[in-house]
């Protein structure tokens, strides 16, 4: 049985993880410098850049995957529970409408990207707040808000197409 992972999924997880790692480098510059100046990195021998790059890619993908799953398993049920986003759990109807309206796949993908963006930048917001970086807190709060509005908009369009067609 051949399993195909769409390029979109790989790219989405990788970029999400990379942005999170980049945000952590900005939030924790001293810790980052300490890691790169540690004996572990110095003792890697020939080609440590390659090892570091491969490890960074692997970690970025996994971090992105975790952030994506947090959005799906924790954030989405919470947003539905507090009624901050419209939602229709009728997956059978969704699949029927997806055959009728090709835009449904795009809306669903954009919804998932927005949901992941909320978790990503809210996490960076919390880390920035804990580190006392007020300007980053504001930036992350604005970006989180933009992703929330996008998530709500896409969810609304999906529900509207499912109800009215």
Residues recorded for the chain:
165
Whether 2 is in a domain gets the answer no
pTM reported for the whole predicted model: 0.87
Give 30-48 pLDDT, tens digit per residue: 887 777 777 766 666 656 6
Question: CA angle at residue 72 from 98 to 15, to 5 degrees?
Answer: 90
Rounded Cα distance, 16 and 48, in Å: 24
Whether 134 is in a domain gets the answer yes
The count of structural domains within the chain is 1
Whether 111 is in a domain gets the answer yes
Least confident residue range of 32-41, 55-64, 119-128, 148-157: 32-41
Q: Three-class SS of residue 82?
A: coil
Q: Token digits for 73? A: 């398993």
Whether 142 is in a domain gets the answer yes
Whether 146 is in a domain gets the answer yes
Give residue 7's pLDDT: 78
* Containing structural domain, residue 34: 7-163
Long-range contacts of 7-14 (CB under 8 A, 24+ apart): 8/109, 10/61, 12/64, 12/68, 12/113, 12/116, 13/61, 13/64, 13/65, 13/68, 14/57, 14/60, 14/61, 14/64
């Amino acid at each position: 049985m051949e399993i195909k992972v769409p390029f979109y999924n790989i790219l989405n997880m990788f970029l999400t993880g990379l942005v999170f790692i980049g945000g952590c480098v900005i939030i924790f510059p001293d810790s980052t410098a300490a890691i790169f100046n540690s004996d572990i990195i110095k003792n890697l021998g020939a080609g440590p850049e390659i090892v570091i790059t491969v490890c960074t890619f692997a970690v970025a993908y996994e971090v992105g995957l975790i952030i994506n799953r947090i959005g799906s398993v924790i954030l989405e049920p919470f947003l539905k529970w507090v009624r901050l986003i419209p939602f229709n759990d009728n997956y059978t109807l969704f699949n029927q409408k997806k055959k009728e309206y090709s835009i449904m796949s795009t809306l669903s993908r954009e919804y998932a990207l927005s949901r992941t963006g909320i978790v990503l930048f809210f996490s960076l917001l919390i880390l920035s707040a804990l580190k006392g970086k007020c300007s980053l807190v504001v930036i992350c709060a604005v970006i989180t808000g933009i992703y929330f509005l996008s998530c709500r908009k896409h969810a609304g369009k999906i529900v509207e197409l499912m109800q009215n067609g």
